[in-house]
Amino acid sequence: AQSVTQLDSHVSVSEGTPVLLRCNYSSSYSPSLFWYVQHPNKGLQLLLKYTSAATLVKGINGFEAEFKKSETSFHLTKPSAHMSDAAEYFCVVSDSNYQLIWGAGTKLIIKP
């Protein structure tokens, strides 16, 4: 069965420093992988999606993620954090029936 683990419930970085949000998945086949972001009092928004094309996926707002099959990881990165990046981020994997399996979320805190 497919599963997804977000390794950190909270990540705190200073503005202008790099962001790394970690995600590991378990799948018996080649899944689709997603990152969604949830800003306070706003709806979830798709950041980026991997669907077996390029392993380095670029998303909105300067975020990118790299699919590493050997490590079963799909970590989300950004070179320089901005205050507006403060939000909760969800890693999502699809199962063989295209259903989405959501991680528990990582809250990103940006220090001024």
Partner 1 sequence: EAGVAQSPRYKIIEKRQSVAFWCNPISGHATLYWYQQILGQGPKLLIQFQNNGVVDDSQLPKDRFSAERLKGVDSTLKIQPAKLEDSAVYLCASSTNPLPTDTQYFGPGTRLTVL
Backbone angles phi, psi at 104, to 5 degrees: -80, -10
Query: Toward partner 1, which CB reaches closer, 12 or 17?
Result: 12
CB atoms under 10 Å from CB of 96, counted, come to 11
- Name the minimum Å distance from CB 112 to partner 1: 26
Under the binding rule (CB under 8 A), the answer on residue 98 touching partner 1 is: yes
**Rounded CA separation 50/67 (Å):** 7
Q: Does residue number 22 form part of the binding site for partner 1 (CB under 8 A)? A: no
The answer for residues whose C-beta is within 8 angstroms of residue 15's C-beta and 6 or more apart is 81, 82, 83, 110, 111, 112
Using CB under 8 A as the binding rule, whether residue 41 contacts partner 1 is answered as yes
Q: Is 44 in the site for partner 1 (CB under 8 A)?
A: yes
Stretch that binds partner 1, among 52-60, 64-72, 77-85, 98-106 (CB under 8 A): 98-106
In this structure, the strands spanning 33-38 and 44-50 are antiparallel
Does 76 engage in binding with partner 1 (CB under 8 A)?
no
Binding site for partner 1 (CB under 8 A): 9, 32, 34, 41-46, 49, 51, 90, 92, 94, 98-100, 102-105
